[in-house]
A and B are shown apart, each in its own frame.
Chain A
């Protein structure tokens, strides 16, 4: 009698705990799937949002909400990759896009958000998002005096003055400046090579 009651107690404990766990687990999956998209949007908006909005002036839409994930592009001839493209729209038509590229700096990778006008293929602007460059030297790439130089430039002009372009390097930070400039030129090159697929991805083709 005693043993049977002990067994019944154990079974009751197991059953109750299992059922509670199952119910709570189901509740959690439901909440997770409902919030998955808003969370991804919030993350993008807070981390990349400011840079995207900076390089895409005058847009009437929310480039982050309209972003096209994983657009297939040819990064280098023969090398396919995917990029997230943020479109800027006016009157429902995309007029510029932004995407992120990575440059090689003095102390590591530099994350750069590049904005390109769809019609002219010229830069609308650039912002350095992430870097580990030296404060006071390479880190000055985040300052307007440096990044505003890139506004409106094309692939020929977006080079250092030492190489015939229009960009003044940061004094004492040649490697950083070169890294940033090279990444931006790659971005312009990528756009030119993939113009059609990018434009159709944002509905402007």
Chain B
């Protein structure tokens, strides 16, 4: 498995939450706004890359019996780092994401990659894996967030601006910004991905 392969698989073959069906909870919760999805994706990417890198560099030292405890200490610490950085420099996003920043700790993607990949592979590969899967996750969340926000609220948040896409007379399809709408949207996107990868309907 080449380094490039380890990085690029996160963008299609192993993309969460579609192919790597993990991390659904934050996916559905924060994608009510496009910028929320983007922020959550980037925060998760930071934690995933850092934890993969550190765990991979310690993989020969951590005894098997305490590996989960060690991984959790590492992951939780990086999550708090992200939370502090967001509070300091991106306060509005921090308020929007709220408790879901802390819940990155239990995002199965991170512990899953630590156990399945970082604990067995070299540092550079683990870093690439974390970065690729994290960025793929970010793209998924941003696309999902964009669709849900445009259809469900008629706006598009870009962080520094919120533009009204359809004008003031648009009656939003508010089903989209609620949890059932999130599931439906997720399912439709997954179906679309399947059509594309199989090349036929």
- Interface of A: prevailing SS: helix
| Other-chain residue from B58, B63, B91, B95 in contact with A12 (beta carbon distance below 8 A) | B63
Bound state CA distance, A199 and B190, in angstroms? 64
Give the total of A residues in contact with B, Cβ under 8 Å: 20
Asked if B66 contacts A31 (CB within 8 A), the reply is: no
Answer whether residue A149 sits at the interface, using C-beta atoms and an 8 A cutoff: no
| Other-chain residue from A20, A32, A35, A46 in contact with B95 (beta carbon distance below 8 A) | A46
Asked if B77 contacts A24 (CB within 8 A), the reply is: yes
Asked if A45 contacts B74 (CB within 8 A), the reply is: no
Answer whether residue B88 sits at the interface, using C-beta atoms and an 8 A cutoff: yes
Asked if A38 contacts B89 (CB within 8 A), the reply is: yes
Q: Which residues of B contact A24 (CB under 8 A)?
A: 73-74, 77
Interface residues of A in 154-198 (CB under 8 A from B): none
Answer whether residue B1 sits at the interface, using C-beta atoms and an 8 A cutoff: no
Give the shortest distance, in Å, between B101 (CB) and chain A (any CB): 14
Interface string of B69-97 (1 = CB under 8 A from A): 11001100100110011011101100100
Q: What 8 pairs between A and B have smallest CB-CB spacing?
A: A38-B88, A24-B77, A42-B91, A35-B88, A35-B84, A39-B88, A13-B66, A39-B87
25 contacts between A and B (CB under 8 A): A9-B63, A9-B65, A16-B62, A16-B63, A16-B66, A16-B70, A17-B70, A17-B73, A20-B73, A20-B74, A21-B73, A25-B77, A27-B77, A28-B77, A28-B81, A31-B81, A35-B85, A35-B87, A35-B88, A38-B88, A39-B84, A39-B87, A39-B88, A42-B88, A42-B89
The interface of chain B, by Cβ under 8 A from chain A, is 58, 61-63, 65-66, 69-70, 73-74, 77, 80-81, 84-85, 87-89, 91-92, 95
